[in-house]
Amino acid sequence: MAEIRIENVSKHFGKVIANQDINLTIADREFMVLLGPSGCGKTTLLRGIAGLDPVDSGSIWIGNRDVTYLPPRKRRIAMVFQSYAVFPHLTVFENIAFGLRMQRVAEEEIKKRVHAAAELLQITNLLQRYPAQVSGGQRQRVAVARALAVQAEVLLMDEPLSNLDALLRLEMRAELKRLLKEVQTTVVYVTHDQVEALSLGDRIAVMRDGKILQCDTPLKVYNDPATVFIGGFIGNPPVNFLSGKVIKDGSRRLIDIHGVIFEPSPAVQHSLFEGNHPEVKMGIRAENIQVSEQAIDHHLNGDVLVVEPLGSQNLLSVQVGNERMKINVHADIDINPGQRVWLSIPAEKIRWYEARSGELLPENS
């Protein structure tokens, strides 16, 4: 149970910069997800916290101890590896007991804690088996049990679900969430799967090119992505982005998107005025767009290219000008490819981004 503070941490491998001046504070008992595409530095940061790849500069604090120069064994962490890293020559029992034996815990206590951890992960019946004799999903449970048994201050998880098949992953995700709430430990969880990040994290740190772009609650990251990249990475389908030209109208700024004029909310007007950007992007989520088959004046319209029935809803691909949008509609609405549709976009759901940097225009007055 401890807070983790990462201060100005940088790390490079040869010429590749894996982490660039990262600052992040993870609260005690918080579930922090590091999310990003492969090569963004999320695993490097996790291994930096673990002490497996010492950082080049900056410092890492766990609780109130500076662990920057401590080896992994002195950091009071536990880690679950993507490959599970279960020891093949030891039984499941001995695997779970491994960390406790290293701490020279008394035999009685070891038995008690191994059984408690095994029970938590429902693998009590496998304790006498060898890893080769259990399934991949069970091996994963062994790895988690082994990490929990040592009751570390911090639990680090490196894509623990990515080697499971889809169904098992879904099941294990929910179970992990229950489990980790129960043990009340600080968790740092690395994944490239945005659904996993949204469903598990108390907060999500979205990373790219060795930097943290945004660190917020899942809802905030989903609704207010800080950059075009994040909007395009999180959510399925990702945020739609439409290019618009800024039109000056006195002190007011209007946006022209494919001939349709939008007036940004007063909260954004200030940044538009100050920034003096020639072009912006409108971000809007697929589920926030209403589709009409009747023509509506001064509304974006486009031709439906594809209709994908997804059960509860249909996913439309709509060609608007030279851009393509993804729109979710209710499954009952009967729309066919080739049809022209008009789009109502509620002003409060729109997020405006600067076109060149891709950054969200701040909403203040």
Q: How far is the CB of 327 from other proteins (least distance, A)?
A: 44
List CB contacts of 348: < 8 A, sequence separation 6 or more. 265
CB 50 to other proteins: min, Å: 6
Please name the residue that has the structure tokens 């999903």: 137
* Cα 62 to chain centroid, rounded: 22
Give dist(CA 5, CA 26) in Å, integer: 6
Name 301's bridge partners: 342
Q: Smaller CB distance to other proteins: residue 99 or 235?
A: 99
Query: Environment class of residue 71 by beta-carbon count within 10 Å: exposed (0-12), middle (13-18) or buried (19+)?
Result: exposed
Question: Could you tell me how far CA 78 lies from the centroid of its own chain?
Answer: 21
- Find the shortest distance in angstroms from Cβ 267 to other proteins: 47
Nearest distance in Å: CB 73, other proteins = 5
Which one, 65 or 270, has the nearer CB to other proteins? 65
Minimum CB–partner distance for residue 270 and other proteins (Å): 49
Nearer to other proteins, 140 or 214 (CB): 140
Give the shortest CB-58-to-other proteins separation in angstroms.
Answer: 21
Pairing of strands 31-35, 252-257: unpaired
Through-space distance between the first and last CA atoms of the chain, rounded to whole angstroms: 40
Based on CB atoms, which residue is closest to other proteins, 78 or 187?
Answer: 78
Alpha-carbon gap, residue 62 to 26, rounded angstroms: 10
Question: Among residues 93 and 98, whose Cβ is nearest to other proteins?
Answer: 98
Q: Which is nearer to other proteins, 25 or 83 (CB)?
A: 83
Question: Least separation, in Å, of the C-beta of 88 and other proteins?
Answer: 7
Q: Where are the alpha helices (DSSP H) in the chain?
A: 42-50, 92-102, 107-120, 136-149, 166-183, 194-200, 218-223, 228-233, 266-275
Give the nearer residue to other proteins in terms of CB position, either 124 or 163: 163
DSSP 92-144: HHHHHHHHHHHTT--HHHHHHHHHHHHHHTT-GGGTTS-GGGS-HHHHHHHHH
User: Where does this chain bind other proteins (CB under 8 A)?
Assistant: 50, 52, 71-73, 77-79, 81, 83, 85, 87-89, 98-99, 102-103, 146, 150, 156
Cα–Cα distances (Å) from 130 to 93, 107, 110, 113, in that order, read 9, 20, 19, 19
Beta carbon nearer to other proteins, 148 or 318: 148
Residue 271 amino acid letter? S
Nearer to other proteins, 85 or 116 (CB): 85
| Cα 176 from Cα 31, distance rounded (Å) | 11
Report, in Å, the least distance between residue 95 CB and other proteins: 9
CB of 99 to other proteins, least distance (A): 4
What does DSSP say about strands 203-208 and 323-330: parallel, antiparallel, or unpaired?
Answer: unpaired
